[in-house]
Amino acid sequence: MIKKCLFPVAGYGTRFLPATKAMPKEILPIVNKPLVQYGVEEAAEAGFHEFGFVTGRGKRAIEDHFDISYELEHQIAGSGKEDLLTSIRDLIHNNSFAFTRQNEMKGLGHAILTGRNLVGDNPFAVVLADDFCVTEPGTDGVLAQMVKLYNQFRCSIVAIEEVPADETHKYGVIAGEAMKDGLYRITDMVEKPSPDKAPSNLAIIGRYILTPDIFDIIERTAPGKNGEVQITDALLEQAKNGCVLAYQFKGQRFDCGSIDGFVQATNYVYENIYKQGK
């Protein structure tokens, strides 16, 4: 069983300034729920109960969000608005939340390594909350799909999707041998390649399942693209000596790290989730 799920949330969110000047980008709402809560709910639905956050300066609001606010509870008791807190209350009561700080921004690989003391010697999932994923009602979420594969193959897995050739420079891009429909055994990975250097158009999105040997590999991984320690480079090393899978998930993903993706996700949630629930 994998129990632990890590959320690297130390990034500055500069693309959303000035909104993110005094507020973490992960707390920006998609309709009426912070972006990061959707990621936690996806993980909880996939069976995760222990959540670790790699935070940074200015990110205290994330800790407060996953804690009880007694003052607020007192204020709204008997007001008829209690139901608005049901989703977050359920998450708080049924799961545990732990936080550690990344005090220098040295890349996603470094952020994941910072979470080592929260994860221990266990396989774990990583969710990048910026990548907001939805699936058909009644079907498994993206992380739940990946957990099923992990239980079968017991190795690291990254979620992938096809992207246009002129967007490979935004992602880690893989090459692999097809094992079955939508599942590849990784043979190559490049972080944010230009189209002519991209080994395919299959881009990694922010869902990973990692085996704990990745930590020692990250420690040995030299800074790569943009001078940052890249999880992509560490995973390629892991793939050379074992098996790393890439899974073309079923569902739709919105890049909420960009204004366009954020607005598209907002429209999607408003039409397909919020209005339906009214």
Ramachandran assignment for 47, one of left (phi > 0), alpha (psi -120 to 50 degrees), beta (any other): left
CA nearest neighbour of 29 among 271, 269, 277: 269
Q: Which of 163, 183 has the CB closer to ligand G1P? A: 163
Query: In whole angstroms, how close is the CB of 207 to ligand G1P at the nearest point?
Result: 9
> Quick one: tokens of 59?
């990110």
φ, ψ at 157 (rounded to 5°) = -140, 135
Q: Which residues bind ligand G1P (CB under 6 A)?
A: 108, 128, 131, 171-172, 191, 203-206, 230, 232, 257
Query: In whole angstroms, how close is the CB of 23 to ligand G1P at the nearest point?
Result: 19
Q: Which of 43, 88 has the CB closer to ligand G1P? A: 43
Query: In whole angstroms, how close is the CB of 85 to ligand G1P at the nearest point?
Result: 30
Query: In whole angstroms, how close is the CB of 121 to ligand G1P at the nearest point?
Result: 24
**Exposure string over 122-134, b if 16+ CB within 10 A, otherwise e:** ebbbbbbbbbbbb
Q: Which of 3, 182 has the CB closer to ligand G1P? A: 182
Residue nearest to ligand G1P (CB): 172
CA nearest neighbour of 126 among 106, 140, 146: 146
Q: Which of 89, 225 has the CB closer to ligand G1P? A: 225
